[in-house]
Amino acid sequence: MQQSNRLRPFFENISFDREDNELVLNFGPQHPSAHGQLRLMLHLQQEQITKAHPDIGYLHRGMEKMAENMIYNEFMPTTDRMDYIASSSNNYGFALAVEKLIGLDVPRRAKVIRMLLLEVNRLMSHLFWLATTALDIGAMTVFLYAFREREYLMDLVEDYCGARLTHAAIRIGGVPLDLPDNFMTDLRKFLDKVPENIKDYEDLLDKNRVWLMRMENVGVISKEMALSWGCSGVMLRASGVQWDIRKEEPYELYDEVEFNVPVSDKGDNYARYKLYMAEMRESAKILYQVADMYEGTSTELMAHAPQYISAPKLEIMTQNYALMQHFVLVTQGMRPPVGEVYIPTESPKGELGYYINSQGGPYPYRLKLRAPSFWHTGILTDLLPGHYIPDVVSIIGTTNIVFGEVDR
C-alpha cells in the first residue's frame, strides 16, 4: 500500500508530439552502472546519443563548508569520505598541504609508511576499478577475482590502522602508528602474487571478443580535449600526455624509487584499461622498493614542531609542558601561518589538489578540494555525443569516477 506523497511521475522522456524523433533518456541518479549517483540526461536519435548532459550533486555533502568550520586535524577523517576507494591518498594530500603551509619535514620512517599506504591504496583502487568495470561490461569472474585480491589488501590496511575503508591513517606531521609485526611479510607475500594475478585478469580480458568490442575505439579522448578539460592521471596519460605528478613534481620518496610511467596515445577505453593494468605492476614494483627502505630507519613517526604537532604519547604522559601543548592543540587546534598553498598529489584517479587559504586562525578560511573525478565527469558532456547507448556504461566505467569526490 502506498503512502501518499506529493511526488508525481516524470514526463521528461515521454514527449508525444516531437517531429525530430528525438528521445530524452534519463539515466540515474540511481543506476547500478553509474558508479554512484550520476544522472545523465541523454538525447537520442535511434540509439545514438546526440547530446549528453551530466547532472551531479547527488552526493554533495558540503565538505568545503565543513572544512571552514573545523580545526585542521578534525577535518582529516572527512577527507576519507571523498575518494572512498583509496582513502589514504586523500588523507595524504591534505596532510601534505598543511605541512607545506606550516613548513614541516616529516621523519623518514613516517615517509616510508606513507609511501606504503599510498601505493597499497593505489592497488586497491585499481583493483576496484577493474572489478566494477568488468562487472558493468558483463565479466562477473573478473569482479570476483579482483575483489578477492582487494580483500587481502584491505586486511593489510586493517592490520595497520584498524579500518577497512575509511582509514584516516595519516596525520598532519607524520603517521600515528608504526607498522605491525607481520605487515612486511604479509605485504611481500601478497606482492609475490600480484604479477600472476594480473596475468589471470589479462588472460580473461585481453583477447576477449566482447571486451574488445566494448573497449576498442570507444570513448576516444584526444590530447587537446584531455588538456582542455583538465584531465589528469590515467585519463590524461591514455591520451598521449606523459604527466605523472609522482615523476614530474616528486613528493615524499618518489624521487628515490624506480618506476615507469606507462603512456598510450590511443585515448580509447582499451588504452585506459591497459594503463591501469600497467600501473598496478608499477605499484607493486614501488612497494618492493619501499619495503626495503623501512629497515634501519629511526623510530620517530611524527615531526617535532611543538607549536603545531602534539608530542608523542610518552611525553604527554610524563611532561607537563607537552601535556599543556597537547591540550591547547586538541581543544583550539593548530594555527598555521597566514598564506595560501595549492598542493597537487597523484591520487589513483588523477591530480588531487588541496587549496588552503589560511588567515592564521585554527580554521581554514577557504579550503578548495580539487578532485580529479569532477572534470572526468564533465568530459562526458563532450565525449558521449556520437556514441551508442551501450557505450555509455563502458565509458563511465573507464573514466573511473567516484562520486564522493565529484560532489564533495
Site for another protein in 357-386 (CB under 8 A): 357-363, 365-366, 368, 370, 374-375, 378-379, 381-382
Work out how close the CB of 17 gets to another protein at its nearest, in angstroms, rounded to a whole number: 25
270 binds another protein (CB under 8 A): no
Using DSSP bridges, classify how beta strands 366-370 and 22-27 pair: parallel, antiparallel or unpaired: unpaired
- What are the residues facing 52 on neighbouring strands? 42
| Contact between 288 and another protein per CB under 8 A | no
Contact call for residue 56 and another protein (CB under 8 A) = yes
Q: Which is nearer to another protein, 85 or 106 (CB)?
A: 85
Number of residues that bind another protein (CB under 8 A): 98
Report whether 30 contacts 42 (CB < 8 A). Answer: no
249 touches another protein (CB under 8 A):
yes
Instruction: Quote the DSSP letter at residue 336.
Output: P
Angle, vertex CA 160, rays to CA 158 and CA 161, nearest 5? 70
- Establish if 232 lies at the interface with another protein (CB under 8 A): yes
* 182-to-35, 89, 298, 322 alpha-carbon distances in Å: 35, 23, 19, 32
Question: Smaller CB distance to another protein: residue 151 or 206?
Answer: 151
Does 72 sit near another protein (CB under 8 A)? no
Q: Cell numbers 580535449 label which residue?
A: 225
- One of 22, 45, 60, 292 touching another protein (CB under 8 A): 60
The least distance separating another protein from the CB of residue 260, rounded to whole angstroms, comes to 18
CA 84 to chain centre: 7
Q: Which of 72, 92, 128, 294 binds another protein (CB under 8 A)?
A: 128
Site for another protein in 165-224 (CB under 8 A): 165-166, 186, 189-190, 193
Cα(32)–Cα(259) distance, rounded to whole angstroms?
A: 36
Positions 74 through 103 that interact with another protein (CB under 8 A)? 77-78, 80-81, 84-85, 100-101, 103
The nearest distance, CB 110 to another protein, in angstroms, is 21
In terms of C-beta distances under 8 Å and separation of at least 24 residues, what long-range contacts does 307-310 make, across chains too?
307/334, 308/102, 308/104, 308/172, 308/173, 308/334, 308/336, 309/104, 309/172, 309/173, 309/174, 309/334
